[in-house]
Amino acid sequence: MTNLPAAVLDSLHGLAFGDAFGDRWFGILRREGPAALEARTLPREEVWRWSDDTAQALVLVRELAEGGGAVDQDRLALRLAAAYADDMHRGYGASMHDVLRRIGAGEPWREVVAGQFGGLGSWGNGAAMRAAPLGAWHAADLDAAAGQAARQGAVSHHHPEAVAGAVAVALAAALATRSRGGPAPARPDFLSAVAERLPDGDVRSGVRIAARMPERTSVRHAAEVLGSGYRMSGPDTVPYALWCAAGHLDDLHEGLWFTVAGRGDIDTTCAMAGGVIAARTGVATLPSAWHAAREPLPPLVPE
C-alpha cells in the first residue's frame, strides 16, 4: 500500500475504522440500549470486522491504482462483483445482492442497475460510502473528483441522488485533503463548498441545510432534520455524515463518537465521516485499543 498517495491511504483507513466501529454498535444498542452509547462503552468484540463499506472501498482504490486515478466502469463492475462473490457476508444490502450476483453471472451492469426499483435505480448510500478515498486521490482537481465519483457511483446505483451522494462525499474528502497542514475550514464554509458543486436535488438541499445549522445544534436534532441513514438512501445519509465530519476535521476519534450518536445506518455514516476526516488527519491519533481491535486491511495491490 506504500505506492498510493498518503491521503488516499489515510482516508481508506479512516473509512475502515469508522465502518468497523460503527458496525459494532448495531449489536450493542440491541443488547444494552442507548445508555451504552451515552457512556461511550467501547465494543467488546475481540475483532472489529469491517463490512461491505470497506470491502467496496478497497475495490475502488485498487481500480484507481490500476487506472492512474481514472475509473474504468466495466472493470470496476466486475471487480465489485468478484469481491462480493469472494465474501458476500459483509452486510451487503438486499438490492446489492441482486445487482452483484447478476453482474457476476455475466449480465451487462448498465442494464442491471438501471432496472432496479422499477427503472428508477437504487438511491441507496452504497455509492457514497466508498467514495472518500477517491476524493483524496483527486484533491488537486475538484472537477476530476466529482466526475470520477459520479462514474464509480453509476456502476452500482443508477438513481441520480445516489450518484450525487457519492460526489458529495468525494468532494468533502478532497477539500479535507487540501486543508492538510493548515487550519481546518469552518463547518459552514466547508459544507457550502461541497454543496455549490452538487447538482440540484435532495442531497444538495440536505448539505445546504447542514451548512446553515447553528453551531449549537445537537447531534440528535441534526439526525432528525437531516436523517442519519434510517432509510439507507443517499439524501438520508450523506448530509448528516458530512455535517458530523465538517465539525470534527481535527479530531477523528471525537468525530466518530459524535457520528455514531445519531444512530441510523451507523456503519455507513461513520465510514463516510471517517473517510473524510482521516483524509486530513490520518489515523495515528486513534487509541491503540482501536488499532489492535480493527480487522486488518488486506494487501492493497492492483488485481
Residues 197-206: tens digit of each pLDDT: 999 999 999 9
Domain limits at 104? 6-293
What is the C-alpha to C-alpha distance for residues 140 and 124, in angstroms, rounded to an integer?
28
Look at residue 233 and tell me if it is in a domain: yes
Look at residue 34 and tell me if it is in a domain: yes
Look at residue 278 and tell me if it is in a domain: yes
Look at residue 303 and tell me if it is in a domain: no
Residue whose grid cell is 453551531:
215
Which one-letter DSSP state was computed for residue 284?
T
Residue 95: band (very low, low, confident or very high) from pLDDT cuts 50, 70, 90: confident
Look at residue 302 and tell me if it is in a domain: no
What is the C-alpha to C-alpha distance for residues 71 and 76, in angstroms, rounded to an integer?
7
| CATH number (domain holding residue 212) | 1.10.4080.10
Residues 130-181: tens digit of each pLDDT: 999 999 999 999 999 999 999 999 999 888 999 999 999 999 999 999 999 9
Dihedral-angle region of residue 106 (phi above 0 means left; psi in -120 to 50 means alpha; beta otherwise): left
Averaged over 212-226, what is the pLDDT? 95
Q: How many domains is the chain partitioned into structurally?
A: 1
Look at residue 279 and tell me if it is in a domain: yes
Look at residue 220 and tell me if it is in a domain: yes
